[in-house]
Amino acid sequence: MGGTLVVAEHVRGQLRDVTKELVTAAAELGDGPVTIAVIARDPGPLAAAANVPGVDEVVAVAVDADGFSADTALAAIEQLVSEREPSVVLTGFTVDAMGFAPALAARIDLGFASDVVAVRRDGGALVVERDFYGAKVRAELEFPGHDRVLLMLRPTVWAPAEGTGSATVSQLSVASESRSRHLEYVEAGGEGDVDITKADFLLSIGRGVGEKDSITRFEELATAMGATLGVSRPLVDAGWMPAARQVGQSGKTVKPKVYLAFGISGAVQHLAGMKTSGTIIAVNTDPEAAIFGVAHYGAVCDIFDVAEELEKLY
């Protein structure tokens, strides 16, 4: 059979950007027809949104579950895979997909890799790339003995497929038992008045500040410079700053005119949330820090020394 099955992702009735990135990756791979599955209680409107150039067929899969259910998603995709026999199944490397994609690979013995950043055919063999050891090393993976492979692709690597496509739309209804159920959505919170996505100038701090007491100083510096303070994940995990300030995949995606990063090494999830900023300036003591890979300007300096000098200027 062959072809690529893309699993669409959506939250609160909106198709997520990663879905259209998966379509681009599928088209680029060129492994036969591209089918996209949209799984929801009422998949109609989402199926229309998923009909983008590059898609040959949209399957609107109606299920009896609100929000996301891992059991339901798993049952629906298993059924589609057995009916359509795609050679490649693509999902995002996302929280929802982490709930079912590895389970499907284990259940029906698929080749599997996640956080994939490149996909190609080498001869007939599927070859993908992903990072190891804090992205200091990249690996090529292959899948000997597997005719069918499930790949979870890293968000923001492929450009989203835009526009209106001309795919056929078909309907499918999948009944399944779910052992979990959605109760409600809540915003990870605190400081509801701050919207870091609206700022033109973000001054962001990370693990490099070392201790909680140092945060005040950078807060004051941000104010003096006319910037909004953002933080990377470790400061939120430590309970030092509210989640509303967090830049990155699990926090907010920001695109200010200027992003000034102090003591942020640049985890993949952080970079995904800020790499499209207009001008990125990074200060870090580690010359190997990944943030320098996306920064336009960089300084390998002690952040407190630079802060002190900036305090004199503002």
The residues in 261-300 that bind other proteins, with binding defined as CB under 8 A, are: 268, 278-283, 288, 292-300
State in angstroms the smallest separation of the CB of 110 from other proteins. 7
Which residues, numbered 29-88, are part of the site for other proteins (CB under 8 A)? 67-68, 70-71, 74
Binding status of residue 257 toward other proteins by CB under 8 A? yes
Site mask for other proteins (CB under 8 A), range 166-195, x = bound: -------------xxxxxxxxxx-------
Contact by Cβ (8 Å): 77, 89? yes
Q: Which is nearer to other proteins, 51 or 270 (CB)?
A: 270
The least distance separating other proteins from the CB of residue 305, rounded to whole angstroms, comes to 4
Interaction of residue 11 with other proteins, rule CB under 8 A = yes
- Min separation Cβ 57 and other proteins, Å: 27
| Residue type for position 61 | V
Q: How far is the CB of 216 from other proteins (least distance, A)?
A: 19
Q: Which of residues 146-165 bind other proteins (CB under 8 A)?
A: 146, 152, 155
Q: Which is nearer to other proteins, 163 or 313 (CB)?
A: 313
- The Cα–Cα gap between 205 and 213 comes to 13
Query: What gap in Å lies between CA 100 and CA 105, rounded to an integer?
Result: 9
Say whether residue 214 binds other proteins (CB under 8 A): no
The stretch among 30-38, 131-139, 161-169, 205-213 that binds other proteins (CB under 8 A) is: 131-139
- Neighbouring-strand partners of residue 168: 57
Contacts of 220 (CB under 8 A, 6+ apart): none
Beta-carbon contacts of residue 305 (< 8 Å; ≥ 6 apart)? none
Query: At closest approach, how far in Å is the CB of 250 from other proteins?
Result: 6
Least distance (Å) from other proteins to the CB of residue 169? 27
Sites for other proteins among residues 228-247 (CB under 8 A): 233, 236-239, 243-244, 246
Residue 153, judged by CB atoms within 10 A of its CB (0-12, 13-18, 19+), counts as: buried
Helix (H) / strand (E) element for 1: namely none
DSSP letters spanning 240-301? SS-GGGBBSSSSB----SEEEEES----HHHHHTTTT-SEEEEE-S-TT-THHHH-SEEE-S
For the bound state, the minimum distance from the C-beta of residue 28 to other proteins, rounded and expressed in Å, comes to 19
Q: Are 149 and 110 in contact (CB under 8 A)?
A: yes
Residue 167 or 268 with smaller CB distance to other proteins:
268
Instruction: Supply the minimum distance, in Å, between the C-beta of residue 139 and other proteins.
Output: 5
Q: Is 250 in the site for other proteins (CB under 8 A)?
A: yes
One residue of 1, 139, 159, 224 binding other proteins per CB under 8 A: 139
Counting other chains too, the contacts that 240-244 makes at CB distance below 8 Å and 24 or more residues apart are: 240/212, 240/215, 241/215, 242/189, 242/190, 242/191, 243/188, 243/189, 243/190, 244/188, 244/189, 244/190, 244/191, 244/192, 244/194, 244/195, 244/196
Residues 84-113, interacting with other proteins (CB under 8 A): 93-96, 98-107, 109-113
Q: Which amino acid is at 100?
A: F
Q: Tell me which of 48, 141, 157, 194 binds other proteins, using CB under 8 A.
A: 141
**By C-beta, is 58 or 119 nearer to other proteins?**
119
Cα–Cα distance for residue pair 297/306, rounded to 1 Å: 14
H or E stretch at 171: strand 168-174
